[in-house]
């Protein structure tokens, strides 16, 4: 970066702090101390010159990092693959991280309502991944599995960075291009793989990878009673579970089982056992991105391989 752009950024920060100062002063009635508190809250990001970004889930956080490179500091809230993903209860610390962020990335579609709520009362530019593709509450919320949603979310994140840090507009455009090149490679791989997976009937313990299976041309053959109970987050009836088990043991109408190990329970144990009995391949995955992957696209690419290898 040039000396000039550093100076410009310093000026931009002074202006931003002044704006923050006046807002803080209105609320507190103690202008001097409020200004100081606001300054120190921003000082870490100011010192590094990086945009502070918070992401509710680590898969979107990895996208935010790839699109920001050295210009951003990303904090992920949910990173574990062994905790309840839906109905997550944020800590006070989690919520506080939204307070200092310039850009907040949430999943939306009622997957992480706590995160949208935490971002609401802050100055952060909000990127709601589901919303960028017109997916709403009540639709399948696992939108990071969708190529369309990844594409539109990436562009929304880049736009948020360019607004927050206009001096580096071109750098963000270049990182966006690099990311799309990699996403395009993944989409080509999905297209090639779909020659094998097209029309393949599969079932799922939870419709977690529905968008990816759809991109692969696969047919969701999860027995209706079970699928409806799962979508409503209610307990499937004994008859629903038995119908699912019978279909798996039969090994004819279902050719692969998607098992979300992050939402495992005694019912899913019964279902995976039936898949083993019927020699139906089990594709195991989680809600959040496992630590062994560098980013969302590497993880998706590995899952495409898993789906491909399930086809006999």
Pairing of strands 219-220, 201-204: parallel
Using the minimum distance from each CB to Zn ion, give the nearer residue, 104 or 208: 208
Rounded to the nearest whole angstrom, what is the least distance from the CB of residue 173 to Zn ion in the complex? 34
Rounded to the nearest whole angstrom, what is the least distance from the CB of residue 174 to Zn ion in the complex? 34
Question: CA-CA distance, 118 to 110, in Å (whole number)?
Answer: 14
Residue whose C-beta lies closest to Zn ion: 208
Rounded to the nearest whole angstrom, what is the least distance from the CB of residue 208 to Zn ion in the complex? 5
Rounded to the nearest whole angstrom, what is the least distance from the CB of residue 142 to Zn ion in the complex? 6
DSSP 256: E
Distances (CA, A) of 246 to 125, 226, 281: 49, 13, 15
Residues numbered 88-147 forming contacts with Zn ion, rule: CB under 5 A: none
Residues numbered 179-208 forming contacts with Zn ion, rule: CB under 5 A: 208
Using the minimum distance from each CB to Zn ion, give the nearer residue, 64 or 208: 208
List all residues 6 or more positions away from 4 whose beta carbon is below 8 Å from its beta carbon.
none
Helices (H), the chain: 3-28, 31-48, 58-68, 92-99, 113-120, 129-132, 147-164, 169-197, 210-215, 224-231, 238-250, 266-277, 296-310
Rounded to the nearest whole angstrom, what is the least distance from the CB of residue 181 to Zn ion in the complex? 30
Using the minimum distance from each CB to Zn ion, give the nearer residue, 85 or 147: 85
- How many residues of this chain bind Zn ion (CB under 5 A)? 1
Using the minimum distance from each CB to Zn ion, give the nearer residue, 111 or 161: 111
- Find the radius of gyration of the CA atoms of the chain: 22
Question: CA-CA distance, 120 to 7, in Å (whole number)?
Answer: 32
Residues numbered 205-234 forming contacts with Zn ion, rule: CB under 5 A: 208
What torsion do the CA atoms of 96, 101, 105, 107 make, to the nearest 10 degrees? 10
Rounded to the nearest whole angstrom, what is the least distance from the CB of residue 229 to Zn ion in the complex? 14
Using the minimum distance from each CB to Zn ion, give the nearer residue, 125 or 207: 207
Using the minimum distance from each CB to Zn ion, give the nearer residue, 82 or 199: 82
**Residues in the site for Zn ion, rule: CB under 5 A?**
208
């Amino acid at each position: 970066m040039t000396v000039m752009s550093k100076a410009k950024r310093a000026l931009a920060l002074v202006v931003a702090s002044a704006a923050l100062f006046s807002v803080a002063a209105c609320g507190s009635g103690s202008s001097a101390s409020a200004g100081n508190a606001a300054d120190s809250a921003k000082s870490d990001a100011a010192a590094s010159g990086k945009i502070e970004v918070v992401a509710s889930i680590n898969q979107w956080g990895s996208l935010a990092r790839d699109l920001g490179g050295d210009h951003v500091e990303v904090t992920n809230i949910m990173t574990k693959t062994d905790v309840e993903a839906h109905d997550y209860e944020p800590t006070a610390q989690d919520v506080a991280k939204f307070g200092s962020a310039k850009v907040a990335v949430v999943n939306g579609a009622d997957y992480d309502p706590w995160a949208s709520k935490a971002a609401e009362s802050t100055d952060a530019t909000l990127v709601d991944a589901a919303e960028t593709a017109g997916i709403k509450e009540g639709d399948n919320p696992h939108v990071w599995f969708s190529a369309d949603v990844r594409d539109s979310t990436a562009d929304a994140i880049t736009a948020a960075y360019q607004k927050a840090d206009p001096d580096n507009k071109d750098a963000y455009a270049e990182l966006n291009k690099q990311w799309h090149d990699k996403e395009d490679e993944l989409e080509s791989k999905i297209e090639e793989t779909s020659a094998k997976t097209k029309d393949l009937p599969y079932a799922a313990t939870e419709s977690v990878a529905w968008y990816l299976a759809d991109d692969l041309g696969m047919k969701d053959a999860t027995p209706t009673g079970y699928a409806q109970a799962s979508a409503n987050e209610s307990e499937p009836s004994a008859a629903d579970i038995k119908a699912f088990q019978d279909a798996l043991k039969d090994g004819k109408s279902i050719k692969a089982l998607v098992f979300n190990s992050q939402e495992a329970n005694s019912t899913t144990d019964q279902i995976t056992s039936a898949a083993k009995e019927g020699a139906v391949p089990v594709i195991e995955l989680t809600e959040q991105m496992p630590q062994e992957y560098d980013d969302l696209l590497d993880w998706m690419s590995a899952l495409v391989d898993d789906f491909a290898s399930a086809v006999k």
